[in-house]
Amino acid sequence: TGGTGVTPESNPNARTIEVLQKMADYYVQTKDHWRQTAYRKAIGTLRRQTDKIATYEEALNLPTIGNRLALKIEEIVLTNGLRRLENAMMDSNYHTLQLFMNIYGVGINQAWKWVQQGHKTLEDLKSHAHLTDNQRLGIEHYDDFLTRIPRDEVTALGNVVSAAAAALDPKVEVIIGGSYRRGASSSGDIDCLLTKPSTSSSQELLGFLNQLISKLTESKFLVAALSVPSQSGSKWHGCCVLPGASKPIWRRIDFLLVPETQLGAALIYFTGDDIFNRSIRLLSSRKGWRLNQRGLYKDVMRGPGRVKMTEGTLIESADERKIFAALGVPWRPPEQRIC
C-alpha cells in the first residue's frame, strides 16, 4: 500500500470499523435514524485516520465522535467486540426484540426491558407484563397495525372524515398529508390535517375537533383513542375502521389541528418524508434560521447549551411555496419529497 489514501486492509481501525458497521446495520433494522447517522459519521471519520484509535480520549478528540461513541470505540479495541451488539444480535433475543418493537407505540427501550424480563412472546406480555392500555391495544391489533393501507382505502377513510367535518362546519378543510400526499400507493396510517380560514391558533379548532371525534365515534368510524390533545395540544391519535367492512382492519389515524396562518409550515412538516424534513431543517439552521411545524423563524436566541430562549422573528408560515422560496430551495412537489 502507499499514497495518502488509507485502504481498508491497511487501516489500523479496520476491526473497529467492522463492528461499528454491524451496529449501524442493526440500527437500520431497528429504525433508529439518529444512531444510524451517528455511526455512519463515526465510521467515515475512522476511515480517514492513519493511526489506531485505541482510547476514549483519542476517539473523543476526533470530529463527529461524541462521548458514547468514544466509549464504544475503546470497548471494541479492548474486547475485540461489543457487548451490546453481541447481546442484540448473537442470540434469539434479537428476534424477540424485533417482535416487541413491532407493537405499535413500543420503542427499543421498552422492548429491551421486556426481553430482559424474560418475555418471549406476545402471549407472555399479555398475561405477565404490566401493560399500558395503549400497549395492550397495540398487541391486540398487532397484525392490523403492521398491515399497510391501500391508497384507495385511505381515500375512502378520508372521505368519511371530510363528510363528517363538512356537516359540522363547512368552512373546515380536511387535507390528508403524510405518505398519501406524497402519492404513495399505500400508507402506514392516515394523517388528517384540519384547518379553517381566519384561524391563527390551533386552540380555536379544539371545539370543532371534540365535536368531530364524538360524531365519528358515535358512527363507529373511530374505534379507539390513543392520545388526546392536552391543553395546548393540537394532535389526536387513534384508530378507525372502514364502514361496512365485514371483518374490518383497524387503521391508525391522526388528526392535526392547523390554524390557517401556519398551514404552509404544517404542510411541509406533515408531508415529510422524515428524511426530507431533517434535511430542510438542517438547511434552515445553516442559515441561522429555524423551521418547525409552525413556521420559519430568524433571530432565534439561544442560551448556554444551545437552549432556545425565544421563538425568533417569523419569516413565513402560511404558504408552503413561500417557505421554499425564502429558503432559496426550488419548489418540490410532495411526490418528490422522498429522500
**Binding residues for ligand DCP (CB under 6 A):** 178-179, 187-189, 191, 269-274, 277
Residue 178 C-beta: closest distance to Mn ion, Å: 5
Our CB check for ligand DCP shows the closer of 318 and 338 to be 338
Q: Which of these ranges, 25-33, 81-89, 154-162, 175-183, lies near Mg ion under the rule CB under 5 A? A: 175-183
Supply 1's cell numbers: 500500500
Q: Report the alpha-carbon distance of residue 183 to residue 240 in Å, rounded.
A: 21
User: Which residue number has the CB closest to ligand DCP?
Assistant: 272
Residue 320 contacts Mn ion per CB under 5 A: no
Q: Which of these ranges, 7-15, 166-174, 184-192, 201-209, lies near Mg ion under the rule CB under 5 A? A: 184-192
Q: Which residue has 399505500 as its cell numbers?
A: 186
Residue 123 C-beta: closest distance to ligand DCP, Å: 27
Q: Report the alpha-carbon distance of residue 88 to residue 81 in Å, rounded.
A: 12
Residue 254 contacts Mn ion per CB under 5 A: yes
Residue 178 contacts Mg ion per CB under 5 A: yes
Contact predicate 106/112, CB 8 Å: no
Our CB check for Mg ion shows the closer of 97 and 256 to be 256
Q: Are strands 235-240 and 222-227 parallel, antiparallel or unpaired?
A: antiparallel
Q: Which of these ranges, 11-19, 93-101, 181-189, 328-336, lies near Mn ion under the rule CB under 5 A? A: 181-189
Catalytic option among 72, 171, 298, 322 = 72
Residue 189 contacts Mn ion per CB under 5 A: yes
Nearest to 263 by CA among 323, 332, 337: 323
Residue 188 C-beta: closest distance to ligand DCP, Å: 3
- Phi and psi at 291, nearest 5°, equal -115, 130
Our CB check for Mg ion shows the closer of 18 and 152 to be 152
Q: Is 72 a catalytic residue?
A: yes
- Phi and psi at 155, nearest 5°, equal -60, -45
Our CB check for ligand DCP shows the closer of 186 and 211 to be 186
Our CB check for Mg ion shows the closer of 74 and 191 to be 191
Residue 74 contacts Mn ion per CB under 5 A: no
3-state secondary structure of 287: coil
Q: 37-45 long-range CB contacts below 8 Å, 24 or more apart?
A: 38/64, 38/66, 38/69, 39/69, 42/69, 42/73, 43/17
DSSP per-residue codes, 166-231: HHH-TT-EEEE-HHHHTT-SEESSEEEEEEETT--SGGGGHHHHHHHHHHHHHTTSEEEEEE---T
Residue 194 contacts Mn ion per CB under 5 A: no
Q: How many CA atoms lie within 13 A of 100 on its CB side?
A: 28
3-state secondary structure of 50: coil
- Contact code string over 30-59 relative to Mn ion, x by CB under 5 A: ------------------------------
Our CB check for Mn ion shows the closer of 272 and 312 to be 272
- The number of residues that bind Mn ion (CB under 5 A) is 3
**DSSP element (H, E) containing 320:** helix 320-327
Other C-beta atoms lying within 10 Å of the C-beta of residue 289: 19
Supply 8's cell numbers: 481498508
Residue 136 C-beta: closest distance to ligand DCP, Å: 22
Q: Which of these ranges, 76-84, 121-129, 171-179, 195-203, lies near Mg ion under the rule CB under 5 A? A: 171-179
Supply 230's cell numbers: 392536552
For Mg ion, the binding residues (CB under 5 A) are: 178, 189, 191
For Mn ion, the binding residues (CB under 5 A) are: 189, 191, 254
The catalytic site residues sit at: 72
